[in-house]
Amino acid sequence: MVTLDTVQTVGVLGAGRMGSGIAQVAATNGYDVVMRDIERTDLDAGLDAIERSLDRFVEEGRLDSADAAAAQGRITGTTDFGDIARADVVVEAVIEDMAVKKEVFRDLDDVTDDNVVLASNTSTLSITSIAAVTTRPELVVGIHFMNPVALMDGVEIVAGEKTGEKTVEFAHTLAEDLGKTTWESDDKPGFVVNRVLMPWINEGIRLYDEGVATKSDIDRGLKLGTNVPMGPLELADHIGLDVVLDASQTLTEELGDRYKPAYLLKRKVEAGDLGKKTGEGFYEYDR
């Protein structure tokens, strides 16, 4: 199996908010990165997001300009799935849809060397189910980065039914080498973070929809009352309301109505107001 000492290139599937963030963190920590997306426009948007993020890090003094330029130079963008074959480890960060993820992992199983660890950034879906479509389930693991990847310290490691102990150890070590702190979860719906987070966000949305308090007072109350950096409505906007809805629906299917998404959340998504990424969610944002 691949060990951290032999990893030079990290493959990232998906150039969205999570994929581009994973690519940035890997490149900043010295790894070559191949980031693949289906559409060139989505790939270019992801590369642009990385450039803007690195520029902000330089402006804020988190990174010097030479290191930022070096990190950007380590990232190769591609729309060719075959380019992922050169990766020593792959992190999948495509949409939170089991059918799509299974298709991706079938293809990964075909194009990558047999000893390459295949990781999913899924926040709710079963690693066991994803791994089952491959010929190497012992090398499939969940490495769930938090959003925004470049700023959040935590990474959730998820072991599927057949994930090998050495693969789990490798996932912890890789995440730690990227400057992250890890915790581990069994392969249960929602793992640790989203199993607690989704009901919290949805209840905050219901409070607002029922007129219990203004959105700013709900967020202010939770921040001051529980010492969290963001309130539920702010955080929902930051994650993406569509992502919150998908996660809530998945958990509802698996665990019942206590995870049922708030009505106003569904209405916002249907209206196309998805949060920061569209410029409007519960709050308005500059794009």
Distances (CA, A) of 93 to 21, 56, 106, 268: 10, 23, 15, 24
Q: Can you give the pTM of this predicted structure? A: 0.92
Catalytic-residue membership of 194: yes
Which residues, listed in sequence order, are joined to residue 92 by a DSSP beta bridge?
13, 120
- Closest listed residue to residue 190, CA positions, set 119, 146, 254, 94: 254
Q: What tokens does 31 get?
A: 């790894």
Does CATH place domain 193-271 in 1.10.472.10?
no
Structure-token match 């079963």, residue found:
126
User: What are all long-range contacts of 174-180, with beta carbons under 8 Å and residues at least 24 apart?
Assistant: 174/4, 174/7, 174/89, 174/143, 175/143, 177/4, 177/29, 178/25, 178/26, 178/29, 179/25, 179/29, 179/153, 180/25, 180/145, 180/153, 180/154, 180/155
Which is the catalytic residue, given 144, 172, 202, 280?
144
Q: What is the pLDDT of residue 2?
A: 73
| Rounded alpha-carbon distances, angstroms, from residue 1 to 59, 104, 173, 182 | 40, 21, 14, 21
Classified as helix, coil or strand, 244 is: helix
156 is catalytic: yes
Calculated CA dihedral for residues 239, 262, 42, 146, nearest 10 degrees: 20
Q: Are 108 and 134 in contact (CB under 8 A)?
A: yes
**Residue tagged active-site, from 53, 194, 202, 248:** 194
How far apart, in whole angstroms, are the C-alpha atoms of residue 185 and residue 172?
12
DSSP state of 280: B
CB 88 within 8 A of CB 7: yes
pLDDT at 3: 84
User: Are 176 and 25 within 8 A, CB to CB?
Assistant: no
The domain made up of 4-186 has a fold known as Rossmann fold (3.40.50)
Provide the 3-class DSSP secondary structure of residue 52: helix
Set 92, 156, 234, 280: catalytic member:
156
- Binned average pLDDT, 10 residues per bin, the chain of 287 residues: 88 96 98 98 97 96 96 98 97 95 98 97 96 98 95 96 97 97 96 96 98 98 96 95 95 95 98 95 91
Task: Give residue limits of the domains in the chain.
Answer: 4-186, 193-271
Q: Which of 53, 123, 126, 248 is catalytic?
A: 123
Residue with tokens 């992801």: 46
Nearest alpha carbon to residue 37 among 47, 27, 29, 28: 47
Does the annotation count 123 as an active-site position?
yes
Nearest to 197, CA basis, from 143, 244, 266: 244
